[in-house]
Structure 1
Amino acid sequence: MAHHSTKRSKRHRAATPPARGRTVAAAALTAVAAAAGVCGTAAAAPAAGPGSGASDTDRGTVKAQIAALYRQADQLTQTFDAAQEQESALSLAVQRSQSKLQTMQADYEHQRAAIGAIAANQYRAGGVDQRLALMLADHPETFLGNEAMATRVSDQQSRKVAEVIEERRQIVQLQRAAADQLSALNQTRDTAARSRTQVTEQLHKAQSLLNTLSAPQRRAAIQADLGADPASPFTGEQPDPNTPDQNLPAPSDRARAAIEAAIADLGKPYVFGAEGPDAFDCSGLIQQAWRQAGVELPRTSSEQAQAGQQIPLSQIQPGDLVIYYAGRSHIGMYVGDGKIIHAPHPGTQVRYAPLMSMPVNMVVRV
């Protein structure tokens, strides 16, 4: 297998997740999957095609193509999930920047009014001519740069002018940062939209292939696990004949709580981009299960692979995360007895699967 350095990321105690428009997003994503025709277990009526009259080789090829499309959709789903997570963080950052900018702008205008009062007083006292008074009020940075003018105000007034200049500098800096954040947010939204479109295309292709099979064959193809990727040389970790130990308990109370949460979600549908509570994609299920155990994990399978200590497959214990494929595009939770719980792909539900039903990239203990 490919070797990855062990990384520990800071574990966060679970808190109420920030509002991210999950209800709207989940509804939209459910509609996308439904449009693709593979969100539920029922398949569309078969079009004219090989069906039951096709050879076993033809049917095997079609099923392999369907599995490949589901694997590709799974990987694209993780790209979408990452974009959604980044969009949420950037949206919050933009909101905070805009709020801070409004506060600073209001304070700046108040300070400028105070500077105007200084200029007016100086003018009335005959200390500054009208032209210089206007410069003091409208362009304080120019005023301080004029030595002759600066000597005509008190130290306290000079400090007030300097404070206004600094606040103006900070406002300009924050405006630029907010513009950069907004640009990044728009780019992230574009990435999410492209990923959603690509996933939908893959699901449509899978549905077209499913329609060439008979009803029993369609059901079998939909319910099949993702399996190995014949197009990839990656074979993953291989188990020791004596492992996994079926009798090992979960190593911690949190691991037991996460397993219980995952078990409670058995039977809930896979929906692209969903993170619960009624539907999940693979990483959304893991994040939700560990959140119920008091641990906040990142959103995607590749990020979750870095959320704890990498463990040899021979030392796997219940509650450990199992990351699959070379691109770390799928994830499940080991629950003992040689099984994982995972959300496989559209058309399936959260369910048990054999630990080695897909090529294992790494095992991580949270």
Structure 2
Amino acid sequence: MVSGRTKQAIRAFLAVAVLMALAISIPPAGAHPTDDSPTAKLEHLADLSRRSEQTTEALHNAGLDLEAKIADQHATETVAAEDRTALDLARAEVARFKPTVDKLAQANYRGARTNRLFALMVSDSPQQMLDQMVLLDVLGAQTARDVEGFKVATAAAAEVAAASQRSAEVAARAAEEAQVLRDDLERRKSELESEIAGVLDAFDALSDEEKAVLAGTPFPPGLDADKILQHLVPGNGGGALRAALTRIGDPYVWGATGPNQFDCSGLVVWAYKQVGKTLPRSSQAQAQGGVPVSRDNLQPGDVVIFYDDASHVGLYAGDGNIVHASTFGVPVKVQSMASFPFHSARRY
């Protein structure tokens, strides 16, 4: 008969064995697939490449956010500097009137008399009395103006000081937010470097035949650049598509915007630049610009965005196709847009 202590030991051993088996059976993120078939290796590379593309486009978007925040920071710092200058001027204005107000306060404290009765009492002659009364009137009017000016300047200085404090706080917050975005950008760059290393390792593991399968053909069967160009309509989109077609065969490189290598949004930016239009750098930002277009009303050259997170983009090439820089190991090509989940389209 097995003792209770022995049963507990057996159960503990079995639990550890199960956990070890599970740990062995679950590959770490980025690890090569256990199935070494061409299909499995290509699927593994596609998964890694997809993740790196998502990070790349998120990195571009974070860069745009940082640029906007830095511009905001500079604007708020300019306002704060202007407010500090205004505050210095307001304080100088207060200082201009302060001596008169201080003298008036001291005179009142000492019991000085500055009215017409005092002039009558201290005058030795009618003319002297008139002269003193005129002087007192002038001094009184000037003092009144100075006192009023002091009140106005003091109120203005207080208002400007409050505005200066607010603008300084806004500028400080903008600087802090910009730093947060900088830190996030560095984190995303580090992520991308790690993901790119995984893609390159997986690509190197492919045979020449598997790399050829991955690259595919520049155009779908029966389609070439001439056929696409026959259906171009005048305008920015047509010109951008014409430019993009000249880059067929160029390699995909993370973060590249041409002229001889591209990532997906980089190709779109470059193509539209050839017709004098500047598009945002990320696929997510490109999905927010231009004019919305339904899938049924696409025209050659329209910007087509894919995936729920708007992380891939290409230019519509007609007949349900796009020209795009798809992923590492695949040159710029024309491909059916049915290969990707449609998100939206924009016309620039």
Which segment drifts farther, 184-193 or 116-125?
Answer: 116-125
Residues 75-84 or 258-267, more deviating: 258-267
Distance 2:274 2:151 in 1: 57
Counterpart residue number, 2:188: 195
What corresponds to 1:156 in structure 2?
A: 149
Partner of 2:304: 322
Superposed, 1:38-49 pairs within 5 Å as: none
Q: Distance in 2 between matches of 1:327 and 1:246?
A: 29
Match of 1:103 in 2: 82
Task: Specify which of 154, 166, 184 is matched with residue 173 of structure 1.
Answer: 166
Letter in 2 for 1:271: V
For residues 129-148 of structure 1, the aligned pairs below 5 Å read none
- Give the residue type in structure 1 aligned to 2:39: G
Which protein has the larger Cα radius of gyration, Structure 1 or Structure 2? 2
Distance 1:338 1:127 in 2: 90
Q: Is the 8 A contact 1:248 1:318 kept in 2?
A: no
Distance in 2 (alpha carbons) for counterparts of 1:267 and 1:303: 26
Match of 2:255 among 273, 280, 296: 273
Partner of 1:262: 244
Matched, 1:299 2:303: no
> In structure 1, what is the equivalent of residue 60 of structure 2?
81
Q: Distance in 1 between matches of 2:70 and 2:152?
A: 37
Residue 92 of structure 2, aligned match among 101, 110, 113: 113
CA 1:87–1:276 in structure 2 vs 1: closer, same or farther (change >3 Å)? farther
Give CA deviations for 1:24-44 in whole Å, capped at 9, x if unaligned: xxxxxxxxxxxxxxxxxxxxx
Could you state the TM-score of these two structures normalised by the residue count of structure 2? 0.67
Q: 1:278 to 1:154 in 2, by over 3 A?
A: farther
For 1:247 and 1:209, the matched residues in 2 are separated by 37
Q: Is residue 359 of structure 1 aligned with residue 338 of structure 2?
A: no
Count, aligned residues = 274
Report the secondary structure of 2:37's partner residue: helix
Q: 1:271 to 1:177 in 2, by over 3 A?
A: farther
In structure 1, what is the Cα distance between the partners aligned to 2:152 and 2:308?
Answer: 61
- How far did 1:271 drift? 3.0
Shift of 1:349: 4.0
Task: Name the structure with the higher helix share.
Answer: 2
Change in CA separation of 1:100 and 1:261 when aligned onto 2, cut-off 3 Å? farther
- Aligned partner of 1:4 in structure 2 is none
Match of 1:25 in 2: none
Distance 1:293 1:166, change over 3 A: farther
The 3-state SS of whatever aligns with 2:304 is: strand
Deviation readout 1:200-222 (Å, 9 max, x if unpaired): 2222122222333334434544x
The code of the aligned residue for 1:360 comes to F
What amino acid is the match of 1:111? Answer: A
Deviation of 1:275 after TM superposition, in Å, equals: 3.6
Larger RCO, structures 1/2 (Cα 8 Å, 6+ apart): 1
Instruction: Evaluate the alpha carbon distance shift between residue 224 and residue 128 of structure 1 in structure 2; reply closer, same or farther with a 3 A threshold.
Output: farther
Structure 1 residues 295 and 121, CA, compared in 2 at 3 Å: closer, same or farther? same
Tell me how far apart the structure 2 counterparts of residues 125 and 268 of structure 1 sit (CA, whole Å). 84
| Contact kept? 2:293, 2:344, Cα under 8 Å | yes
Match in the other structure for 1:92:
71
| Residue pair 1:332, 1:342 contacting (<8 A) in 2 also | yes
2:255 alignment partner, SS class: coil
Over the matched positions of the two proteins, sequence identity in percent amounts to 26
Matched letter for residue 66 of structure 2: E
Amino acid of the residue matched to residue 240 of structure 2?
Answer: A
Inter-CA distance 181–315: structure 2 relative to 1 (3 Å threshold): same
Q: Report the more deviating stretch, 281-290 or 211-220.
A: 211-220
Give the partner amino acid of 1:171: S
1:247–1:283 CA distance, 2 compared to 1 (3 A)? closer
What is the CA-CA distance between 1:330 and the residue it aligns to?
Answer: 0.4
Q: Secondary structure at the match of 2:171?
A: helix
Instruction: Indicate the residue corresponding to 1:341 in structure 2.
Output: 323
Report the CA distance shift for 1:97/1:364 in structure 2 as closer, same or farther (over 3 A). closer
